[in-house]
Chain A
């Protein structure tokens, strides 16, 4: 991990309230792997005070890309940055997806802006395996990166809550349908999205004995494992209480779905 000042090379509004930034950060990209994140100082003022973590959307020889949705003050300010502006960033951070080189089809399941880290993952996975992505969103304007995945030759299926694109339903409905009809057992699943979706995803993966890795989101302070502000409840049979709190920033953000205690 390093702290660098990175210039914004490209800025694109990919959908209403959704932005993609390409950052000039070759020293970060050379060590980055899918599922990791960067920690961005959005302003040198004290409002908002803390850095904001963003999963790495794309890894290129020149740097990295992030993809985010405006959800509050920090992301709003970030969306107002322009091409050529500089950002103080730290990365690559966190424990990303473990990628096993096997012949199975990989199934990626995204909820909303959860597609962000899955694009970097898809670019990596498709080098040696078939990749399929299932994207869920409230409505069709929130379905992002569809064409980008298709351009990689990846099979994309879409579900929207209102049925404005793809099936009417959620991404995990697509997953259940796919697994129920698939001849190959135990297909590896990779997910990112809201917690309720990830919970259902984990249950489905468990039902089909599929290995499942999920990327969690959390508010963070330090981002490097020092403050213990961002933790997830993880099963630990060796602990008297059978659980422990693990840091999303260094032990995650990607966890094996079986480890997560949802209650």
Chain B
């Protein structure tokens, strides 16, 4: 008996992904870093390391600490800034055989708008992810994502600058994530992605000092998956645009949980560090599961 190859393509606004698996911002560099280990053409897309208007050194070391089934990071958005990105990284992106989504972060709503405008007419950039949820910077970042009005303001200002699909990356460090998601949609978001990392901390009991130089950092990895899943479920009920689920996804089974609660796509972050082939294996795992259950469309998973 011939098995029909299931169609696992999904739409994020007007952006069509060949499959629902993306690699997360900050966890996959600019794609080239993993090109020798991962067949990038197998992925639905990659989301670039966050870009700010000006170059950022990032935070002092130590920046990462391993915790129970997870890790804390406080990189602090180290990046070369918009103009060097356009000069040094953008030309390389046309070689990446999948959708490239740029992640943008600003200290003010105007900075987001400036970056969005600059990136919106570039062939190799398929969509923008607006990062209003970085927990490791002192200005902007998560502050915008913790306030409905500021979320609306940032998204709305960016919306006026670009016709690219807009994904808004939400912070879990809020009381009611659904209301922030609604504000993002009202501002003009085509999709939301969640969750960014959970603000956390670890102490060294020998030195009696924090284990991160920045004291606090963002928790990621399998430890946060139940929290992420709950929030994705809440947001999926609250809005009518695609939701990209992320937070601790390590396997295709984890991905299915997110798709089951209503996510349109999933994003793979920390798992890349543990197993660079995780994203490819997840694509294959979802396909195999669908074949086994004779599903021809992704939405059949939820039935």
The interface residues of chain B lying within 8 Å CB-to-CB of A46 are 69-70, 221-223, 250
A171 is an interface residue with CB less than 8 A from chain B? no
Contact of A229 among B64, B275, B276 (CB under 8 A): B64
Closest chain-A Cβ to B141's Cβ sits at a distance in Å of 16
The interface residues of chain B lying within 8 Å CB-to-CB of A250 are 33
B221 and A226 form a contact (CB under 8 A): no
Of chain A, the residue at the smallest CB distance from B55 is A239
Q: Given A3-B276, A49-B70, A51-B273, A218 and B222 touching (CB < 8 A)?
A: no
The interface residues of chain B lying within 8 Å CB-to-CB of A49 are 66, 69-71, 221-222, 270, 274
A227 is an interface residue with CB less than 8 A from chain B? yes
Q: List CB contacts (< 8 Å) of A205-263 with chain B.
A: 218-233, 241, 243-245, 250
B27 is an interface residue with CB less than 8 A from chain A? yes
B29 and A225 form a contact (CB under 8 A): yes
The interface residues of chain B lying within 8 Å CB-to-CB of A3 are 37, 276-277
Which secondary structure dominates where chain B touches chain A? loop
The interface residues of chain A lying within 8 Å CB-to-CB of B28 are 226
B123 is an interface residue with CB less than 8 A from chain A? no
Of chain B, the residue at the smallest CB distance from A72 is B66
A50 and B63 form a contact (CB under 8 A): no
Closest chain-B Cβ to A109's Cβ sits at a distance in Å of 23
The interface residues of chain A lying within 8 Å CB-to-CB of B49 are 226, 228
Contact of B78 among A1, A220, A231 (CB under 8 A): A231
Of chain A, the residue at the smallest CB distance from B64 is A229
B64 and A230 form a contact (CB under 8 A): yes
Q: List CB contacts (< 8 Å) of A153-204 with chain B.
A: none
A227 and B75 form a contact (CB under 8 A): yes
* Bound Cα distance from A222 to B275, whole angstroms: 9
Of chain A, the residue at the smallest CB distance from B26 is A227
Closest chain-B Cβ to A3's Cβ sits at a distance in Å of 5
* Bound Cα distance from A48 to B73, whole angstroms: 16
A50 and B37 form a contact (CB under 8 A): no
The interface residues of chain B lying within 8 Å CB-to-CB of A231 are 58, 61, 63, 78
B57 and A50 form a contact (CB under 8 A): no
A50 and B78 form a contact (CB under 8 A): no
Of chain B, the residue at the smallest CB distance from A249 is B33
Contact of A90 among B37, B57, B222 (CB under 8 A): B37
The interface residues of chain A lying within 8 Å CB-to-CB of B270 are 49, 221
* Bound Cα distance from A146 to B104, whole angstroms: 53
Q: List CB contacts (< 8 Å) of B66-104 with chain A.
A: 66, 68-71, 73, 75, 78
Closest chain-A Cβ to B64's Cβ sits at a distance in Å of 4
B226 is an interface residue with CB less than 8 A from chain A? no
B62 is an interface residue with CB less than 8 A from chain A? yes
The interface residues of chain A lying within 8 Å CB-to-CB of B221 are 46, 49
Closest chain-A Cβ to B2's Cβ sits at a distance in Å of 33
Contact mask for chain A residues 107-138; partner B; CB cutoff 8 A; 1 contact, 0 none: 00000000000000000000000000000000
The interface residues of chain A lying within 8 Å CB-to-CB of B33 are 222, 224-226, 250
A29 is an interface residue with CB less than 8 A from chain B? no
Q: Given A46-B222, A50-B71, A222 and B250 touching (CB < 8 A)?
A: no
* Bound Cα distance from A138 to B58, whole angstroms: 35
Contact of B27 among A50, A226, A232 (CB under 8 A): A226
The interface residues of chain A lying within 8 Å CB-to-CB of B222 are 46, 49
Closest chain-A Cβ to B196's Cβ sits at a distance in Å of 15
A229 and B73 form a contact (CB under 8 A): yes
* Bound Cα distance from A116 to B222, whole angstroms: 33
The interface residues of chain A lying within 8 Å CB-to-CB of B275 are 41, 88
The interface residues of chain B lying within 8 Å CB-to-CB of A224 are 29, 33-34, 37, 276
- CB<8 Å pairs between A and B, sample of 5: A46-B221, A90-B37, A219-B62, A228-B49, A228-B75
- Besides A224-B29, A227-B75, 16 more A-B contacts (Cβ < 8 Å) are A3-B37, A41-B275, A46-B70, A47-B69, A49-B274, A88-B275, A224-B34, A224-B37, A226-B27, A226-B28, A226-B29, A226-B33, A226-B272, A227-B273, A228-B78, A233-B61
Contact surface of B with A, Cβ cutoff 8 Å: 26-29, 33-34, 36-37, 49, 57-58, 60-66, 68-71, 73, 75, 78, 221-223, 250, 270, 272-277
Q: Which 8 A-B pairs have the closest CB atoms?
A: A226-B29, A229-B64, A46-B69, A226-B33, A221-B273, A222-B273, A225-B33, A228-B75
